[in-house]
Amino acid sequence: MDLQTVRTNLENKGYRVSCFSDAAAAAVYLNAQIDGKTVGIGGSMTAEEMGLYDSLREHNTVYWHWRAGEGQTPDELRAAAVGAEEYISSVNGLAGTGEIVNIDGSGNRVASTIYGHKKVWLLVGKNKLAPDLEGAIDRARNIAAPKNARRLGLQTPCAEKGDKCYDCKSPARICRALSVFWTSPRGSEYEVVLIGEDLGY
Ligand code: SF4
């Protein structure tokens, strides 16, 4: 499915959509749009690869549990991010038909993308696209989650074998909550940032 069709399907579900050919252009746009704000970021390799924390914190107050400074804990930063005006997350799967899928371990990312912020930005590299909702859930479970488990060096079967989800009972399991946005939730403004290169998992 071409990106223009995906864009139309997202707009029909209430999302504002912006499209960029690469991550650098998307980062410039985000820095122009988000200025003088408090910003929370969910766990996101896409945000990491885009260098968003470093660029945004030059002109915003940014809370990211992946960047705990001296005297800060990741839990404190997760809690601070809950109260931020704007929230940035990537997604684990985007259906071409417009549904958005995320899997979470702590729940902070799933919770914050659903409720509590004035604006939510959802970053999507083209590798996150699947034809439909079933495909997006399959991608989130069998591609994104095992890659994240492997990145974290967890003792889970998916991290060890790296091929698919085993629906494990491991204490280290990172897949504990699943969100599906059938359409944009009420209460926040949503903007999906579609980026024409592979980003994150
Ligand atoms: S449920 Fe377990 S096996 Fe499946 S992807 Fe998550 S951590 Fe890996």
pLDDT value at residue 152: 93
**Separation of 145 CA from ligand 1 center, angstroms?**
6
Q: What pLDDT, on the 0 to 100 scale, is given for residue 162?
A: 82
What pLDDT sits at residue 93? Answer: 98
Kind of pairing between the strands at 100-104 and 61-64? unpaired
pLDDT at 3: 86
pLDDT digits (tens, 9 = 90+) for 57-113: 999 999 999 999 899 999 999 999 999 999 999 999 999 999 999 999 999 999 999
Find the DSSP H helices in 104-176: 108-114, 133-139, 145-151, 157-161
Contact yes or no for 176/3 (Cβ under 8 A): no
> How far is the centre of ligand 1, averaged over its atoms, from the C-alpha of 177 (Å)?
12
Which atom, in ligand 1's list, is nearest to the CA of 146?
5
Report d(CA 172, CA 156) in Å as an integer. Answer: 7
Confidence (pLDDT) at 1: 78
Reading the block at residue 27, the tokens are 């980062």
- Output the pTM of the full model: 0.96
Ligand 1: residue of 170, 176, 178, 201 to mutate (most ligand atoms within 8 A of CB) is 170
Ranges of residues in the chain with a pLDDT under 70 are none
Closest residue CA from atom 4 of ligand 1 = 165
